[in-house]
Structure 1
Amino acid sequence: MSRLFKITAILAVVALTFTSCDKTKRNLQFMPDMYESVAGEPYAKSVVFTNGIEAQKPVEGSISRGHIPYEYPDTNEGYENAKQNLKSPLTAADLDSENAKNLYTIYCSVCHGKKGDGQGDLVKREKFLGIPNYKDRDVTEGSIYHVIMHGRNMMGSHASQLNEKERWLIVQHVQELRNNLLK
């Protein structure tokens, strides 16, 4: 009887192996949406909301994370308004002269020169002429920030390359250079 039991057990194991490894038929899925997600178009009309796609747009007047709005327009009036009213939000603890100098060297000195005298490498090579000397300009921290933000005359905007704090650090360094030139 023992021998018959062993043969039956072996045949049962072999039969189970062949039937359980059959890849042609699909296994039972208790939650099919968890295994195979239903694809949806993100901007398609939706029957869930009464106004269709409107529920997926940002709320009017909302500001994206990390973006700080700049309320002075890119006009002469905006420049003059920024020159008169815009002040640096940085505290004494936020000011970092070494970082400000590095940022100025990277983004500004190629045209304006390391001393702010308008004698940068591009001016010396006569690629650009007429770069202003900081000593000759009536500038404030607001006007400097506005020009970095929007650009002015031949200078383009650096708003996409510098965040708000970096712009204010460059403003600090430009003012230091201007004070050194005025001495």
Structure 2
Amino acid sequence: MKKVYTLAVLMGLSSLLFSCQDKLKPNYQFFPNMYESAGYETYSESGAFKNGKEGQLPVQGSIKRGFVPYEIPNTPAGYLASKSITTSPLDSTAVDSEKAKELFEIYCAICHGEKGDGKGNLSKREKFLGVPSYADRDVSIGSIYHVETYGLNAMGSHANQLSQTERWQVAAYVLKLKSEL
């Protein structure tokens, strides 16, 4: 009796496997582009753009939503002009001191030290020499923001890592550290 059941199960499985295959009538492909996509060469010309060569550029003078342009240029004169900015555009409720401290410890303390004394791990190991202490510098909140945005001397720009609001918050935190030194 067991052999009959086993034979029946095997016959049923084999009929299921071979009944779905018909070499004379191939299956339909819905959305064939998903199976056989066209290959494009990187940086090649494309008919998707107006002139066929380059992508569309934004309209002259347009800015992305939520972005506030920083009008001071990246020049020595611009740095001096930024020193005249003594107030942050953020109101007091927008400044989160805990978040500013966290951002400072992530991006700045490795060189400038947790207290802003210029004795961070990289300067202790002499990877970067001459990292200034905030106590020795004549800075304002605007000049700190300017340096965070464009960089100065060996310090690079942090505009890609920090948003505008975060840079203003870190600048306020740096002034707080300067007052404590």
TM-score normalised according to structure 1 size: 0.68
How far is 1:22 from its partner?
A: 5.2
**Are residues 52 and 129 of structure 1, via their aligned partners in 2, closer, same or farther at CA, if it must alter by over 3 Å?**
closer
For the aligned residues, what is the CA RMSD? 3.3
* Aligned-partner SS, 2:83: helix
One-letter code of the match for 1:128?
F
* In structure 2, C-alpha distance between the alignment counterparts of 1:127 and 1:119, rounded to whole Å: 12
More divergent stretch after superposition (73-82 vs 53-62): 53-62
Q: Which moved more, 1:86-95 or 1:158-167?
A: 86-95
- Within the alignment, does 1:174 sit opposite 2:174 as a pair? yes
Q: Structure 1 residues 145, 28: closer, same or farther in 2, change over 3 A? A: closer
1: CA distance, partners of 2:172 / 2:26: 69
The CA deviation at 1:147 is 0.5
Give the secondary-structure state (helix, strand or coil) at the position aligned to 1:167.
helix
Paired with 1:103 and 1:59, the residues of 2 have a C-alpha distance of 32
The aligned residue for residue 121 of structure 1 is: 121
Aligned residue pairs total 158
- Look up the equivalent residue of 2:126 and give its one-letter code: E
Superposed, which structure 2 residues align to 1:89-168 within 5 Å?
89-168=89-168
Deviations 1:1-34 (A, max 9, x none): xxxxxxxxxxxxxxxxx9xx856457899xxxx8
**2-structure distance, mates of 1:171, 1:139:** 10
User: Which residue of the partner structure matches residue 58 of structure 1?
Assistant: 57
- How far apart in 1 are the matches of 2:22 and 2:169? 68
Aligned partners of 1:93 and 1:111: how far apart in 2? 29
1:10 maps to which residue? none
Is this contact kept in 2: 1:43–1:56, CA < 8 A?
no
- Corresponding residue number in structure 1 for 2:15: none
Q: Where in structure 1 are there 5+ consecutive unaligned residues?
A: 1-17
The amino acid of 1:149's aligned partner reads: T
Q: Secondary structure at the match of 1:174?
A: helix
Aligned residue in 1 for 2:13: none
Q: Is the 8 A contact 2:123 2:129 kept in 1?
A: yes
Q: Give the match for residue 69 of structure 2.
A: 69
Distance 1:145 1:24, change over 3 A: farther
Q: 1:28 to 1:101 in 2, by over 3 A?
A: closer
How high is the sequence identity, in percent, across the aligned residues? 48
Instruction: Find the aligned partners of 2:28 and 2:119 in 1 and give their Cα distance.
Output: 77
Task: Work out whether residues 90 and 168 of structure 2, in 8 Å CA contact, stay in contact via their aligned partners in 1.
Answer: yes
Partners of 1:161 and 1:132 in 2: CA distance: 22
| Distance in 2 separating the partners of 1:141 and 1:90 | 12
With the length of structure 2 as denominator, give the TM-score of the two structures. 0.69
